[in-house]
Structure 1
Amino acid sequence: MTIDDSLVLEEQRLKIQIETIEACQTAVFEVIRQYEDSACKLMQEEIVLAIHAIGLDLQTELLHVRFAQARQH
């Protein structure tokens, strides 16, 4: 497997993980809507922010992979 191949696989893996994180965030928002009267609003916000932080980390990793791909050509 070449470096290009491994970077393509890494890019695909990260895209799937980002899609998964986005789906998780959407699901959490649906749960929050169902329990809008909940006294746990701070906890709900912390959960959404934690998921968002994971998404940002994945986006940063994807950016690095894309930089590496651009440098290979």
Structure 2
Amino acid sequence: MQLDSRPTVSIPEEFDSAQAKLIYLYLREWPNASADEICTALGIEKGTFLSVARTLREREHVERVEGRYRLA
């Protein structure tokens, strides 16, 4: 019997948006990313990112420090 050795990643249950989940997962792997870095890596429009990031910040999942984003 072989055990699954992949790490378990949990995403807050209240995330309804696929973009919110992607941004959250991206920031778990690459903290301190700029909006442009995230948009380029995920292939999303900057306006979409800023809208989702604002919601994530309001819900205290993400913080913005000196123009860079990371998990709170």
- For the aligned pair, the TM-score class normalised by the smaller chain equals 0.3 to 0.5
TM-score (norm 1): 0.32
Q: If you compute each CA radius of gyration, which structure gives the higher value, 1 or 2?
A: 1
TM-score (norm 2): 0.33
Bigger proportion of residues as strand: 2
